[in-house]
Amino acid sequence: MKKIFLSLLVPALVLSACGESANSESSENSDGYSGATKKSEVHYKEETHFKNIHQLTAGGDIAEAYWSFDDSKLVFQAKYDKWGAECDQIFFADWYSEDLKETTPRLVSTGKGRTTCSYFLPGDTTIVYASTHLVNDACPPVPEKREDGKYVWPIYPSFDIFTADLDGNIINQLTDFEGYDAEATVSPKGDKIVFTSLRTGDLELFTMNIDGSEVKQITFELGYDGGAFFSPDGSQLIFRSSRPKTEEDIAEYKELLSQGMVTPTDMELYICNADGSDLRQLTDLGGANWAPFFHPSGNKILFSSNHENEKGYPFNLFLINTDGTGLEKVSHDGVFDSFPVFSNNGKFVAFSSNRNNGGTHETNLFVAEWVD
């Protein structure tokens, strides 16, 4: 479940939803996108890696868009009453031709329970995603606000991982262990899935074949390991992790985990080989560093971070070399930019943002041409 900070950002949305609009620029779109926004303030002049940004949606809480292998489709999760999604459900669309501001995309999850972390499988006719629907048709409860004020994220034990066709028919259940199994993504080689599981008593990374066979644990240190993605050649993994070190932090982590929760506000990025070997910490920035994705070259990582800001927001996108050098700020929204994902051909990047939302709490999908 990678979409973990949107609730944390409510104060930021209220205080600074239009914080940098004075620095944004308007652009006329003329390339035939049905869903393209005419003269919308969606592109800040400092964002030199972006060209021709297109806002694909306009409403709801919509995020985690991932490309089909042929780059013609996006599959994503949405909480949006207009689309009949009381809590996160999985939808997909032909991103280039469909106008998602005016029409409802195709629902590919069951519409029951809560879902997360969808991804196309090879052939682009099936997807993998996690869902709680086997335990309850209703949306699972959200944790109540804590007296200590800490932001917590629920680890729903009812999450399991499924494959489905594009008509929403479930083909296979890939996990059936008691406890949390989610956050599945697929190797560009099409042979492996990486996911996060609590089956060993801690939140660790595992890999499996795309049919669910040959499950292998690849991380072993105490702390939450999740949100993993493969490198373009499938040889490496990049992921986020909270690794408690002090006795106090370890005790708090274990106590929250026993209650089915984590605090995802202090995380760094780690990189390893696809089998878990050569594990090393990539960032040491402080704050929440998450949603990492490999640059098409395989030599850089694009990720979301709030490390520049003591208040915990805004979140912006940053690039860093895989050796930890060359940190560069990429996005300049004043509230929230995250979930960056490069298309397989390397020409586009999809991301989610609170920009251009009229001061509301809406999170929308954007696609931009990438400029190195």
The DSSP code for 243 is -
- The answer to whether 78 and 88 have CB atoms below 8 angstroms apart is yes
pLDDT along the chain (372 residues), means of 10: 42 29 32 37 93 96 98 98 97 97 97 97 98 97 84 94 98 95 98 98 98 98 97 98 96 95 94 98 97 98 96 94 98 95 98 94 97 98
Amino acid 38: pLDDT: 32
Q: How far apart are alpha carbons 35 and 257 in whole angstroms? A: 42
Predicted confidence at residue 310, as pLDDT, reads: 85
Domain containing 211 equals 7-370
Residue 17 inside a domain? The answer is: yes
Q: What pLDDT sits at residue 146?
A: 83
Q: Give helix then strand counts, H and E, for the chain.
A: 2, 28
Residue pLDDT, tens place only, 284-310: 999 999 999 999 999 999 999 999 998
pLDDT of residue 313: 86
CB 134 within 8 A of CB 99: no
Identify whether 198 is part of a domain: yes
User: What pLDDT shows up at residue 64?
Assistant: 97
214: region left, alpha or beta (phi > 0 left; psi from -120 to 50 alpha)? left
Domain with residue 90: its CATH number is: 2.120.10.30
The tens digit of pLDDT for each residue in 254-288 reads 999 999 999 989 999 999 999 999 999 999 999 99
Type of residue found at 274: A
Distance CA 178, CA 247 (A): 28
Strand ranges (E), 175-285: 181-186, 192-197, 204-209, 216-217, 224-230, 236-242, 261-262, 268-273, 280-281
In a domain, 1, yes or no: no
21/42 Cα distance (integer angstroms): 9
Number of domains in the chain: 1
**Quick one: pLDDT at residue 137?**
97
d(CA 40, CA 295): 27
For 6, residues 6+ apart whose C-beta sits below 8 A from its C-beta are: 61, 63, 336, 363
- What phi, psi does 10 have (nearest 5°)? -55, -45
pTM, to two decimals: 0.90
Residue 181 lies inside a defined structural domain of this protein: yes
